[in-house]
Structure 1
Amino acid sequence: MISQETIVALASPSGAGAIAVIRISGKNALPIAESIFQSVSGKKISTQNTHTIHLGHIVDEGKTYDQVLLSIFKNPNSYTGEDVIEISCHGSTYIQQQIIQLLLRKGCRMAQAGEFTLRAFLNGKLDLSQAEAVADLISSDNEASHQIAMQQMRGGFSSEIAKLREELLNFASLIELELDFAEEDVEFADRTQFKELLTRIEFVLKRLIDSFAVGNVIKNGIPVAIVGEPNVGKSTLLNALLNEERAIVSDIAGTTRDTIEDELVIDGIGFRFIDTAGIRETKDVVESIGIKKTFEKIEQAQVVLYLFESLKFKVQSSEHIIEIEKIKNQFPLKPLVVVINKIDLLSETEIQNIKEQLETLNVKLQTISAKNNIGIEDLKSQLLSFVNTGALRNNETIVTNTRHYDSLLKALEEIQKVRFGLDGGLSSDLMAIDIKQALYYFGEITGEVTNDELLGNIFANFCIGK
């Protein structure tokens, strides 16, 4: 149910700035704004055209609050589908609060999180997946996540789902028609065409489901754990990757006693690097806790960088190999890159000997000098290779939302039930049940099937004012 109240909220970030934007939406947005706005031209804003901007002052009972720009967006040609007013005022927090409090006194209500976008959905300006993409767009912090959010907000994902749903709905209608003429034993739905449609739907659903593995890491970033013995250059490597002095570098073993995290964008993909405490036997209680956290971070990471110092490997090769095998056995599904640091201290022959000893472990190898920034770009390329960006480059639809992923899995399960029933000669009335359930899960994605609890959960994650 769409609320008839007129809502107001700060649409720009809170705090002081050059300007702030206050947004109003609802059936009384225009008269409320008109009651406090005096245009320098003397015009009444209620008589002005939509999508126009006017210079004037916010005034009430003889008190002038600020000189502002007021933008008019009349229904239905606005973001929410209602009358919308946006007031661009000076960015003083005092001015912002004074204008908002004035609007509340004039009859507005403070907007709830995501309420403007919720109204846009309820008024048919966006479907549900597009509305969710708005939140993803706001939170995107790299090129890849921005690109996916833009594609979904423009309806790329929802249009693909809507097309499949429409085709399935047409066949569902024919199946229902057969039920009405059950006594005549006629088939209105061509079973061969129906089977072809199910095959096509199943193919698309599987592709979308598979894309979630890429979409999830693009949206949330790829956690990379940097592990190894103490004092082999893990913190120096983190600083070299980030190109800043983020981690403390010291010759004292055990300097890093806790995990340090920071983010880096490589070719539009976000990576979260975790510099962990060195792995070694220790009696230091604090350092022991840090080592325990190291294995916890490896568990959470999607990629592991095992770093060792080239000179130490010459005398401790067996210990390093045992440690690498331990990580491989404990985390067999995680990509492991063995990074040989301080290669500037070795000859080419010595480097080749180390590589030959490690080749039997079947792991990725990278040679670097973190201190001298040698091999860092190659390491970045290696990390990027773990992300399948082909779908992104080809502008294919990529699923990033866990709710969508869950609905796609359930829809695929129902489609497979329909196919099984079709192959087994299942009666039309039983097949119709599975088809309806598949249509239900399709509708959940785009919002054609919703409930108040679902909408509440989705829009509660939005910022106030959007």
Structure 2
Amino acid sequence: MSFSLAEKADTIVALATPQGVGAIAVIRLSGQEAIHICNAIFYGKDLTNQQSHTIHFGTIRDEERIIDEVLVSLFIAPKSFTKENVVEISTHGSSYIVNQVIKLLIRHGARPAKPGEFTQRAFLNGQFDLAQAEAVADLIHSDSETSHQAAIHQMRGGFSGEIAKLRTELIHFASMIELELDFGEEDVEFASRSDLRVLVEKLMRVVEELISSFDLGNVIKNGVPTVIAGKPNAGKSTLLNALLNEEKAIVSEIAGTTRDFIEDEINIGGVIFRFIDTAGLRETTDVIESIGVSRTQEKMKTASLILYLFDLGDTDMEEINRDILKLEALGVPFLKVANKIDKADPVFVKALKAKHPDTIFISAGKKENLDLLKDRILELVNLDQFRTGNTIVTNIRHYDSLIKTRQSLLDVLEGLDNQISNDFMAMDIRRSLHYLGEITGEITTDDLLANIFSKFCIGK
């Protein structure tokens, strides 16, 4: 999705609230002619003579036919989201009314907005940088406290500020080295190589921290894939139902009831966990069940956390030890969860606590110790870095650009070690600046912008 100069000068219109019937709907216009176009169908005050950030009551009419009573909000350039003239019309939430009003506005000179076009105009008009624009979409889709906080931090320029500092310092050295190229025959040095090394090493540390934060950022944004694994009838489906507080999974005394996996999201402490109730881990001759067991093993390999659940009344110590060794070999964090504590042999429980003191004892059926389980789950996610206000990378595009930036900075350090010529040194620094600029939008292409903003909803 790219825009011609003519399209950028258009006045655009779209429904800013969700489709469907509701109490109200908000129709948004943006562009130089937004106020005049709305004024042509609005009966009330003359909108062209009103102040910015004011709201006006009146009716929308198609000639003499009244379509609806509305409130019209005015935001006069540059004091608006897009830095253009913006009008927001609040109508009753009938889809018929919305369609009639939008058709009228189009007849009077507006055109339908493309996905993300309002936010793209805000970016192109300098309201915020590209990383902040992407945070608008993340904010809209945030469904937990942590994802909301991460999006707010980025939208308010937290991440962009970090990147801007890096670029500013590096630009200074780049300009000095470029200047040296102009005086190549005079053997002058405007940029101290030792100072450049100190700077690049400092930038490397910051870039490494941002890169390493992506695992946490991905968890915050997309949720923690958590597999509930164990033998058939260990109580996996019962535990999933207890955590969800609903009968999501089928619970049966028949072993192997869960043939595939069941997935749902649970908010624990402001973090979304994508819990996956899998088929049981056991040897089986049932063809369908064996497929489910195979898929369980694949899910475990790609999980961020595994809840190893076992039935205290149906599992001996040797089997538990054998399963734990297999889980340790996967390299995925896991919790040992002993189920059906209400039916367990006290002697076996005592022995298990001595052998595996980190085991969590629960009763999924009676919902005992589930809060303790949730606390231990949160501990493994480790949100300390996020809660201390550190910048967290949540966007895969930013992560990719940071990886490329790191390689370019490594090339600069290698060039310093090998005392390469200024022109090659300048190329490596320019590449680093290019990749950092991709994040915030100093460096963009139409294809990049099209890819980013096409994923937005139409009214945003």
Relative to the length of structure 1, the TM-score reads 0.94
> Does residue 298 of structure 2 align to residue 296 of structure 1?
yes
CA–CA distance in 2 between the matches of 1:420 and 1:27? 52
Conserved? CA contact 1:7–1:109, under 8 Å: yes
Give 1:394's aligned amino acid: T
Secondary structure at 1:107 match in 2: coil
Deviation digits for residues 195-239 of structure 1 (CA, Å, limit 9, x no counterpart): 221121111111111111110111000011111111121111112
CA–CA distance in 2 between the matches of 1:271 and 1:299? 17
Secondary structure at 1:56 match in 2: strand
Please state how far the C-alpha of 1:179 moved relative to its aligned partner: 1.0
Secondary structure at 2:314 match in 1: helix
Deviates more, 1:21-30 or 1:375-384: 375-384
Please state how far the C-alpha of 1:92 moved relative to its aligned partner: 0.9
> Does residue 30 of structure 2 align to residue 25 of structure 1?
yes
Deviation digits for residues 253-282 of structure 1 (CA, Å, limit 9, x no counterpart): 222223111111122111111111223333
Please state how far the C-alpha of 1:358 moved relative to its aligned partner: 4.9
The partner residue of 2:369 within 375, 382, 386 is: 375
Give 1:282's aligned amino acid: T
Q: Unmatched 5+ residue regions in structure 1?
A: none
Structure 1 residues 75-90: aligned runs within 5 Å: 75-90=77-92
Q: Which residue of 1 aligns with 2:458?
A: 464
Q: Which residue of 2 aligns with 1:8?
A: 13
Deviates more, 1:415-424 or 1:435-444: 415-424
Structure 1 residues 156-175: aligned runs within 5 Å: 156-175=158-177
Q: Unmatched 5+ residue regions in structure 2?
A: none
The partner residue of 1:52 within 47, 51, 54 is: 54
Please state how far the C-alpha of 1:448 moved relative to its aligned partner: 0.5
Q: Which residue of 1 aligns with 2:196?
A: 194
Please state how far the C-alpha of 1:328 moved relative to its aligned partner: 3.5
Q: Which residue of 1 aligns with 2:420?
A: 426
Secondary structure at 1:313 match in 2: coil
Please state how far the C-alpha of 1:53 moved relative to its aligned partner: 0.6
The partner residue of 2:333 within 328, 332, 335 is: 335
Equivalent residue pairs, number: 455
CA–CA distance in 1 between the matches of 2:96 and 2:20? 10
Give 1:322's aligned amino acid: R
CA–CA distance in 2 between the matches of 1:324 and 1:421? 48
Conserved? CA contact 2:234–2:309, under 8 Å: yes
CA–CA distance in 2 between the matches of 1:103 and 1:380? 52
Q: Which residue of 2 aligns with 1:400?
A: 394
Secondary structure at 1:86 match in 2: strand
> Does residue 107 of structure 2 align to residue 100 of structure 1?
no
Deviates more, 1:150-159 or 1:104-113: 104-113
Give 2:404's aligned amino acid: K
The partner residue of 1:35 within 37, 40, 45 is: 40
Conserved? CA contact 2:313–2:345, under 8 Å: no
CA–CA distance in 1 between the matches of 2:167 and 2:95? 48
Give 1:458's aligned amino acid: I
> Does residue 420 of structure 2 align to residue 411 of structure 1?
no
Give 1:423's aligned amino acid: D
> Does residue 429 of structure 2 align to residue 435 of structure 1?
yes
Q: Which residue of 2 aligns with 1:148?
A: 150
Conserved? CA contact 1:321–1:358, under 8 Å: no
> Does residue 327 of structure 2 align to residue 322 of structure 1?
no
Q: Which residue of 2 aligns with 1:62?
A: 64
Please state how far the C-alpha of 1:345 moved relative to its aligned partner: 1.9
Q: Which residue of 2 aligns with 1:211?
A: 213
Conserved? CA contact 2:77–2:83, under 8 Å: yes
> Does residue 269 of structure 2 align to residue 267 of structure 1?
yes
The partner residue of 1:453 within 439, 447, 456 is: 447
Deviation digits for residues 126-171 of structure 1 (CA, Å, limit 9, x no counterpart): 1000000001000110000100100000011111111110111011
Conserved? CA contact 1:25–1:80, under 8 Å: yes
Secondary structure at 2:213 match in 1: helix
> Does residue 284 of structure 2 align to residue 286 of structure 1?
no
Deviation digits for residues 361-408 of structure 1 (CA, Å, limit 9, x no counterpart): xxx522111122222122112211222312211111100000100101
